Amino acid sequence: MKRSILTLEMIYISVKYLLSRIRNEERKKRGRPRKYQDEVILTLSLFQTYNKLSFREVLEIGKREGFEVPSLNDYHYRFVALREELMITLNQKFCEAVISISNQKGWSIKLYIVDGTGFSFGDKYKLSWMRGTEVRNVKSHVRLVVVVVVNDRGNAVIMSCEAEGPYASEVEMLRKILRRVRRLENVPFLADRGYDAVDVIRGVLELGGVPSIKIKETFRKSVRHPLRKLSKENWERYGRGRYRVESVFGSMKQKLGSGFRVVREDVAKKMAIACALLWNIYMLWVFLFLSFLLHLKTKSIHLNIFGTLSLLI
């Protein structure tokens, strides 16, 4: 991710367009409509995470940019009340948009890669003098597990994600992600040995993927289950491509940082999901810009880049 490539307006246009698609699929709820729609709150929260701002600072910038922003108290309340499922669904819509543009260019999916990373929050200064097992008792961090899709050009986008508290089981988080997935392409599904559960391998097979998960084994304990043997063979054949997810985490944390300036765990979990959202928004605008240049080169369309979102998705 390049620094300062996403503006508040670019994030708002992307979120508003794809959030309208989610609303069309959901049933409308009764009651008085909210004064500040979810797209405004989501845009402010994403821009706050992107630029590592405080709650007060992002409201000042939003007001300066011409947005009708809530009060500090209302914004904090609405941020806490944001549904994580809505953010995860929006992340999937961004992934589908990027894949759609990629398919129009003739690029196909090459790999699925699973991995997890952590983000700190709260008081992180005391970690500098802690040693040994003391660090293991610190609970001021959240866990983010992602499924990354890589095309044959090496471009990576986050298909789905899950955020939980400290020391959460990454296998359980992957199981939740797989329940949301409808189908997978018949390409390798890579993961390290921490995800080598038999039901996970079976789930990947049922969805249409090629399980290529590294299997735990020792000198005295060999691999016996047929699904685990299949996964081990596929890992030896395709496992060298797993480094790509580490590149995504490295680029993400280089820009967004590895910690959040918040105190509450639930807010930190939403910000971790926001990091995955921001990566997909960044990739979407990169693909839109490339498509816009291609259309200008072929003289088939002549529009501003902000107008291509509804035409190319």
pLDDT digits (tens, 9 = 90+) for 172-209: 999 999 999 999 999 999 999 999 999 999 999 999 99
- 11: in domain: no
- 37: in domain: no
- 124: in domain: yes
Number of domains in the chain: 1
At 304, the pLDDT band (50, 70, 90 cuts) reads: very low
Q: What is the pLDDT of residues 65-95, one digit of tens each?
A: 999 999 999 999 999 999 999 999 999 999 9
- 299: in domain: yes
| β partners of residue 162 | 145
- 18: in domain: no
Class of residue 218 by CB neighbours under 10 A (exposed 0-12, middle 13-18, buried 19+) = exposed
- 70: in domain: no
For 52, 69, 79, 196, 271, the CA distances from 76, given in Å and listed in that order, are: 16, 12, 5, 40, 13
Q: In this structure, are residues 94 and 223 in contact, taking their beta carbons and an 8 Å threshold? A: no
For 5-20, letters b (16+ CB in 10 Å) and e give ebebebbbbbbbebbe
pTM: 0.87
Q: What is the pLDDT of residues 107-147, one digit of tens each?
A: 899 999 999 999 988 765 565 666 666 666 677 889 999 99
Report the pLDDT value the prediction gives residue 189, as an integer from 0 to 100.
96
Measured on CA atoms in the order 200, 206, 212, 218, is the torsion positive or negative?
positive
The mean predicted confidence, pLDDT, of the chain is 85
* Mean pLDDT on 15-22: 86
The DSSP call for residue 33 is P
**What domain range includes position 191?**
83-312
Report the pLDDT value the prediction gives residue 107, as an integer from 0 to 100.
85
pLDDT at 300 over 70: no
In one-letter notation, the amino acid at residue 287 is: F
How many CA atoms within 13 Å lie on the side-chain side of 4?
0
Phi–psi pair at 36, nearest 5 degrees: -110, 115
- 156: in domain: yes
- 290: in domain: yes
pLDDT at 307 over 70: no
